[in-house]
Structure 1
């Protein structure tokens, strides 16, 4: 499966590299786009859920990398839950080799 990464900037400026076992994240995130915190988490749940299912269909088991990444996103997002108007920016989408998509 073609895995990829997406770099995000959280409301306080902290950046995080996130992993997806599938290119499906390209359908849910746009490089440079800013998302409301709750929208970003929901898009992440959907994209990483689909990515995990694609791995399961191909290899017969769910991808723990996708579920672990979602758990990290949810934990990080919870820290900003009280920040009014909190936004997350998807800075880049990268192929497995680190090249921009």
Structure 2
């Protein structure tokens, strides 16, 4: 299963390298795009959920690392929840 990483820039200009056990993230996010915070969260929840289920289908267990990554993303996003203008930029895939 091809692992990938995606790099994001948060509203405060900090950056995070995020993990996915599957390239399904490419179906939900695009490098160079900016997403409203809530839209970004919905897209990453869905993508990482699907990625985790792909691991389950192949190996018999969900990907805890994908769920840990989602928890980290949600924790960082919570800092900006009160800002209706908050956007997340997807910088790159690797």
Flag whether TM exceeds 0.5 (same fold). Answer: yes
Structure 1 residue runs without a partner (length 5+): 95-101
Number of residue-to-residue matches in the alignment: 94
Q: Output the aligned Cα RMSD.
A: 0.5
Q: 1:83 Cα shift?
A: 1.6
* Structure 1 residues 30-49: Cα deviation after superposition (integer angstroms, max 9, x where no partner): 00100000000000000000
Query: For the residues of structure 2 that align with 1:76 and 1:15, how far apart are their CA atoms?
Result: 10
1:8 counterpart residue number: 8
- After superposition, residues 42-81 of structure 1 pair within 5 angstroms as 42-81=42-81
Does residue 83 of structure 2 align to residue 83 of structure 1? yes
**Whole-angstrom distance in 1 between the partners of 2:70 and 2:4:** 14
Q: Which runs of 5+ in 2 are unaligned?
A: none
Deviation for aligned residue 1:20? 0.1
Q: State TM-score, norm by structure 2.
A: 0.98
- CA deviations 1:17-72 (Å, max 9, x no partner) are 00000000000010010000000000000000000000000000000011000000
